[in-house]
């Protein structure tokens, strides 16, 4: 593992975001794999997508079904049902954002509230080497 002095090296993974065409179908599949629903599907107007959270032990998956006019819809058309981001929790969202940007990550969506993450703030960044990364406040604001 590559180590550095960045704050985010020791950040905790909160979830893997999984882009899906039909959330109901994906929920049924996750249930068959031993996952249980942690947060029922609800529409997030900020993300313009329906989201639900599923857990299996310490693993958490966020199912994301984009609305027809969502910025994520083109990704779904290109990649079909697939994982598309990893979310980390950070003590200081602003500091983690700055450190990711200093290492070459490009801002995708700036800091905003995430209603389905209990009101935490989140930011999305991109890297050609690992795709989309979401960083969330460790505690709700």
Q: In the predicted model, is pLDDT for residue 10 greater than 70? A: no
CA dihedral (3, 17, 104, 121) positive or negative: negative
CA dihedral (35, 19, 44, 125) positive or negative: positive
Q: What integer pLDDT is reported at residue 9 of this predicted model? A: 53
What's the pLDDT tens digit per position in 93-131?
999 999 999 999 999 999 999 999 998 999 999 998 889
| pTM of the complete model beyond 0.85 | yes
**The CATH number of the domain covering residues in 7-137:** 3.10.180.10
When the pLDDT of each residue in the chain is averaged and rounded to a whole number, the result is 91
How crowded is the C-beta side of 5, counted as CA atoms within 13 Å? Answer: 1
What's the pLDDT tens digit per position in 47-102?
999 999 999 999 999 999 999 999 889 988 888 899 999 999 999 999 999 999 99
Question: Do the bridges between strand 82-90 and strand 36-44 make them parallel or antiparallel, or are there none, so unpaired?
Answer: unpaired
In degrees rounded to 5, what are phi and psi of residue 31? -60, -40
What's the pLDDT tens digit per position in 14-27?
999 999 999 999 99
Q: What integer pLDDT is reported at residue 134 of this predicted model? A: 96
In the chain, domain spans: 7-137
Q: What integer pLDDT is reported at residue 141 of this predicted model? A: 83
Q: What integer pLDDT is reported at residue 75 of this predicted model? A: 87
């Amino acid at each position: 593992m590559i180590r550095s002095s960045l704050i985010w090296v020791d950040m905790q993974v909160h979830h893997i975001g999984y882009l899906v065409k039909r959330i109901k179908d994906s929920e049924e599949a996750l249930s068959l794999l031993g996952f249980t629903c942690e947060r029922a599907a609800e529409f997030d107007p900020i993300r313009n997508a329906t989201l639900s959270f599923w857990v299996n032990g310490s693993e958490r998956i966020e199912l994301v079904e984009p609305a027809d006019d969502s910025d994520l819809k083109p990704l779904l058309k290109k990649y079909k049902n697939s994982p598309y981001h990893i979310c980390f929790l950070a003590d200081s969202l602003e500091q983690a954002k700055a450190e990711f940007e200093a290492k070459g990550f490009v801002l995708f969506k700036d800091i905003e509230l995430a209603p389905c993450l209990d009101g935490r703030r989140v930011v999305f960044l991109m890297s050609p080497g690992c795709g989309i990364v979401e960083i969330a406040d460790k505690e709700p604001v």
